[in-house]
Amino acid sequence: MSDATDPWLIVGLGNPGPEYAANRHNVGFMVADLLAERIGGKFKRAQKAQAQVVEGRLGPPGPASRRVILAKPMSYMNLSGGPVTALRDFYKVPTDHIVAVHDELDIDFGMLRLKLGGGDNGHNGLKSMTKAMGPDYHRIRFGIGRPPGRMQVADFVLKDFSSTERKELAYEVDRAADAVESLLADGLERAQSTYNS
């Protein structure tokens, strides 16, 4: 079982490469980038995994701060499990100290849901992670809503946010980063009561 001194692995899910950078599917990367800014770190290539990482501390100075490894898998989304498992093993992170930040179709844009464990709901990044290490990790689900009309899900998630959504995006990404910090500092139940909508 994990204890307070164990590090946390915060995984932003997305696809590598500039052509995907602003896609809905890459909101996990956006949150990870903001958290890296908050700890004053820059992503660099991981030694033992196909990922970029930043190490640091999140939370208020003192005993309440948590040691974190922020990660962006550099495999494609549907292969995220390999890099995440390699990072988990290298940094000796208990599975319940892993947090996946990802886009979620079944929640309206800008809504957040925090949970521990559960299914993958058709999300290829989660499917890959769960296959590699089981379902018992935390998720921060960032709502992107359903595709309009008859647009295919795969096309929708690989499109950039709409101009209306982009006006709110920085605020919502900031809120999701706050939710990560709250999960680490206050625990799941308190973070859920603050951020689950």
d(CA 8, CA 108) in angstroms, rounded, equals: 28
| Residue 25 designated active-site | yes
Residue 82 three-state SS = helix
Element (H, E) at 113: strand 112-116
Q: Cα torsion for 7, 97, 192, 158, to the nearest 10°?
A: 100
Q: What is the DSSP string of 54-81?
A: EEEEESSSSTT-EEEEEEEE-S-GGGTH
Q: Taking Cα atoms as reference points, which of 64, 54, 92 lies closest to residue 4? A: 64
Chain-centroid distance of CA 30 in Å reads 9
- Residues marked active site are found at 25
